[in-house]
Amino acid sequence: MKVDRIDDKIGISGLDIRIGVAVLICCLTSTLLNRLGLRYANGGMQFEVIQKMTACIACLLCCQDNVRVSFSSGVTRLLITAIGGLVGMGVILFDNLIGNDWIMAVMMMPGILLTLFLCKKAKVAYIHARIGGVTFILVTSTFGGLDRFGYGLFRFVSTIFGVLVVVVVTWVFQIAADRKKNVLEA
């Protein structure tokens, strides 16, 4: 059985182009919103409304060969992001009550285990459960105190935006391919 490897197909594919266009749209949108001063301020922290990195990662992970599969990948991405983020916020609440770095370090293990368990319960592939764990770690560890809630919220908003961009880009490319096919067949 032959396994596709990335070096078996050297060149830029249509999927690569769709990913690139989706990433470009997310980068331009984030940059535009930042230039317009549309940021969420919480105390001394300012959060991007559309986090460039988060939206672009959603593009890389969700863009597929057709709209149906891209949408399905996007739903999975939103589900695991929500699970990891919500478990992270639960741990953050506990950490804010206790306020001890050692206890927070210990809480990371049950938080990861709960994230993995809930993702498996949601019947996502194990690799997706691990990505849910990445969200948990980012939400609990990127900032301190209550700023982690803002980060988690806008991480989810940015993931939604990235998924929507992927679905629209895939849809537009699919329409263009269908039209080109119809013209060639005519």
Q: Where are the domains of the chain?
A: 13-63+76-178
H or E element at residue 40: strand 39-42
Name the DSSP letter for residue 5: -
Range scoring the smallest mean pLDDT among 29-43, 47-61, 92-106, 148-162: 29-43
CA 64 – CA 53 distance, rounded (Å): 19
Residue 7: its pLDDT value, please? 56
Burial class (CB in 10 A: 0-12, 13-18, 19+), 120: middle
Is this structure's pTM higher than 0.85?
yes
Helix 52-62 crosses helix 147-185 at what angle (to 10 degrees)? 40
pLDDT at 3 over 60: no
Residue 186: its pLDDT value, please? 67
